[in-house]
């Protein structure tokens, strides 16, 4: 993938990874093709990890923001449970 090309979405990356794994398991590819496919899979795995981490951070931030907006009594009641 060229750096100029748009990065795939998480869903697209997972689908492409599944396709690559299937192709590699079929053992019908040459060593040269295998090398390129492993490089692409590595890129996609890194991309997926980055998206998962950034999503986790974003969700944590949103939840923290919501919790800080709760009235003090409601927050204390939740802690007592």
Domain boundaries, the chain: 10-80
Distances (CA, A) of 72 to 13, 61, 65, 75: 43, 19, 14, 5
CA 18 from chain center: how many Å? 14
Question: In whole angstroms, what is the distance from residue 77 CA to residue 23 CA?
Answer: 54
Task: Give me the pLDDT at residue 67, please.
Answer: 86
pLDDT confidence of 80, banded at 50, 70, 90? low
Task: Give me the pLDDT at residue 47, please.
Answer: 97
Residue-wise pLDDT for 9-65, tens only, equals: 999 999 999 999 998 888 778 888 889 999 999 999 999 999 999 999 999 999 998
Q: Is the pLDDT of residue 75 over 70?
A: no
- Select from 39, 38, 33, 43 the least CA-distant residue to 21: 38
How is residue 70 annotated by DSSP?
S
């Amino acid at each position: 993938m060229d750096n100029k090309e748009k990065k795939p979405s998480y869903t697209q990356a997972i689908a492409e990874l599944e396709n690559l794994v299937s192709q590699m398991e079929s053992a019908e590819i040459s060593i040269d093709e295998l090398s390129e496919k492993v490089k692409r899979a590595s890129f996609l795995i890194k991309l997926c990890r980055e998206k998962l981490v950034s999503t986790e951070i974003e969700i944590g931030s949103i939840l923290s923001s919501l919790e800080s907006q709760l009235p003090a009594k409601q927050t204390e009641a939740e802690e007592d449970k």
